[in-house]
Amino acid sequence: MQNFGLDIWGDENYLIKDGKIALNHMDNPTLIEMTKTIRDRGHKGPLILRFPHIIKKQISTLFDAFDSAIEEFGYTGSFNAVFPLKVNQYPNFINSLMSVASPYGYGLEAGSKAELIIAIYKTPIGTPITVNGFKDREMISLCFIAAKMAHNITITIEGIGELQTIVEVDQEFNHDSDIVSRPNIGARIRLHSSGVGVWAKSGGYSSKFGLTSTELLEAYELLYHHQMLDRLTMIHFHIGSQMGEIAPLKKALREAGNIYADLKRRGASSLSSINIGGGLAVEYSQHKHAQERNYSLKEFANDVVYLMQEISTNKGVEAPDIYTESGRYIAASHSVLIAPVLELFSQEYQQESLRLKEVNPPLIEELNDLFGSMTKANAREYLHDGLDHMESLLTLFDLGYIDLEDRSNTEILVNLIVKRAIYLLKDEDSDELKRLQSRIQEKYLVNFSLFESLPDFWGLSQQFPIVPLDRLDIKPTRPASLWDITCDSDGEIGFDPKSPLYLHDIDVKKDEYFIAFFLTGAYQEVLGMQHNLFTHPTEVIVNFDDDGNMSYDELIEAQNLMDILDDLDYDMEDIDKRLKELIESSDLIDDAEKSAVLSKLYLYLSENSYLKTIQALDNKG
């Protein structure tokens, strides 16, 4: 895994240049140069870089795949897409998305009132808005207001109750009005087939959402009865996120296609589109054997277009316009989280820490010789000798024959021998070596919160590609586990011998070392929890003009300590008053020093929670 699986998950967005990970765009700027520039401006701690050119690429790739399929099959319907806001509502993302989306008529999908306001605010008039999820009267009224603003909005009903409310709200809005204007109505169907994977609950009979066949017929009759059948334009389904296989989608397409054709033949003449929801998967894996997706975008698009063509031809109805709501596919790759390594926890096992004496116990002398004379040819034998000597030495310690310094020398030397053996035998794939790796695991303390920035790792064991920003021309040999800075033992990405991560042996006292977590642009940001009161990291948009000049725009610094407490609705004036009082009334501070202490305190309050310095390491954070 010399390239950290870049060929598996990277999708040609990055390349390795002079040992550094760089954008495969314009002049191939390296991520480490971006990171250092922003840190030099005083922004320490973890950092989110956003790349609008990657969002643009995802949108254009999606549209191109469907447009090609439509051309290839001579399909008569159109292709349309909306972005589901729940995947990432951050303004720096949405603003970037909408600025590259306009040539495609790419709209937004909302699942709550607040998301609906974003959709109404950001979607250009005429570009589609779809509204899913459970809705009350107020939310439905908001959709009618959007329609009155001339928005092209479709309310997807999840149940008959919602449809009844729509009929009532319609009378309220359009009864006495000269200009009648209404949202379109879509019907989400409860699929017989269900999805696969951890998110499969979104589809299938036990799904939270959608109308059964009986309810669909009832809905049809209700609309007919109220002369609103002309509003029914869309059939919708969503089989779940991160769909690893294509088979469940094909089943769902057949089901939805036949429902569409049946309703159309029954008399729903305005019915003109099928919305296939999201679910298009992202390849997160850094290891070939653990790949998460078994189909290509081309296959996905071809299957959708082909099946819709086949069903509508067989049933003699007009082919539907196709809508997708892919979110993960559009957003995941646009951002990267970069966090500095603060410390390595097995540094005590370094050669410099040895305390060899004038005269050492013979077995220790021997360990030292073994370590000094290891070669590829003798590595395995010396490794076994070393492990054997260690057992004897630990027994000697227990019996009181050697002292604590000898024991420390033993541990260091054996650790060095194991490390060197693994390095020398790195081309061999043996179980013994794999077992030994977990023993010399290096724990990297990283300045970020896993709960805030990778919640799906915590909640669903979702893997994300992890790559150091530089030294990629040097083979990493340390089996790594990553610790975040929360004081929660779940805040760890442990070493997994089945999908191992190796990082470099570095001395953080001398060198900076940054870890990048890729594909974090979908779901992670809003799902992130402020556990321990670590907040959304500092973020910046990396833009390029046509000449390739790079700029860092819309930098938003992570919240400071006072803002965090304010968010929790603490009484900020009272905190301020109490802190001042404590300094004022303390006999342990000289009066002359009091104002200096107070200003120091205020400085810290104006900064964020992430670590700035640790122990002797100035400026590492």
Which of 86, 293, 334, 389 is the binder for ligand PLP (CB under 6 A)?
86
Q: What is the DSSP letter of 517?
A: E
Q: Is 84 an interacting residue with respect to ligand PLP (CB under 6 A)? A: yes
Q: Is 186 an interacting residue with respect to ligand PLP (CB under 6 A)? A: no
Which of 325, 452, 456, 539 is the binder for ligand PLP (CB under 6 A)?
325
Alpha-carbon distance values, 496 to 185, 202, 300, 357, 437 (Å): 48, 30, 32, 38, 10
From the list 62-70, 158-166, 212-220, 238-246, the region that binds ligand PLP by CB under 6 A is: 238-246
Query: Which amino acid, one-letter code, is at 330?
Result: I
Whether the Cβ atoms of residue 386 and residue 414 lie closer than 8 Å to each other? yes
Chain residue at closest Cβ approach to ligand PLP: 278
For residues 211 and 350, give the distance between their C-alpha atoms in angstroms, rounded to a whole number: 64
For residues 478 and 347, give the distance between their C-alpha atoms in angstroms, rounded to a whole number: 12
Enumerate residues 268-287 that contact ligand PLP by CB under 6 A. Answer: 277-280
Q: Is 521 an interacting residue with respect to ligand PLP (CB under 6 A)? A: no
Which of 326, 333, 437, 559 is the binder for ligand PLP (CB under 6 A)?
326
Q: Residue 88 or residue 437: which is nearer to ligand PLP going by CB?
A: 88
Residue 427, burial from CB neighbour count under 10 angstroms (0-12, 13-18, 19+): exposed
Provide the minimum distance between the beta carbon of 330 and ligand PLP in the complex, in angstroms, as a whole number.
8
Which of 58, 152, 165, 241 is the binder for ligand PLP (CB under 6 A)?
241
Provide the minimum distance between the beta carbon of 83 and ligand PLP in the complex, in angstroms, as a whole number.
9
Three-class SS of residue 150?
A: coil
For residues 223 and 286, give the distance between their C-alpha atoms in angstroms, rounded to a whole number: 51
Q: Residue 96 or residue 324: which is nearer to ligand PLP going by CB?
A: 324
Three-class SS of residue 167?
A: helix
Whether the Cβ atoms of residue 336 and residue 465 lie closer than 8 Å to each other? no
> What is the bridge-based pairing of β-strands 478-483 and 502-503?
antiparallel
Residue 602: its H or E element: helix 594-605
Q: Is 328 an interacting residue with respect to ligand PLP (CB under 6 A)? A: yes
Q: Residue 34 or residue 330: which is nearer to ligand PLP going by CB?
A: 330
Backbone angles phi, psi at 127, to 5 degrees: -80, 140
Q: Is 204 an interacting residue with respect to ligand PLP (CB under 6 A)? A: no
Q: Is 238 an interacting residue with respect to ligand PLP (CB under 6 A)? A: yes
Q: Is 386 an interacting residue with respect to ligand PLP (CB under 6 A)? A: no
Per-residue string for binding with ligand PLP, 545-584, x by CB under 6 A? Answer: ----------------------------------------
Enumerate residues 106-145 that contact ligand PLP by CB under 6 A. Answer: 132
Candidates 147, 151, 48, 44; CA nearest to 107 is 151
For residues 259 and 283, give the distance between their C-alpha atoms in angstroms, rounded to a whole number: 32
Residues forming the site for ligand PLP (CB under 6 A): 84, 86-87, 132, 238, 241-242, 277-280, 325-329
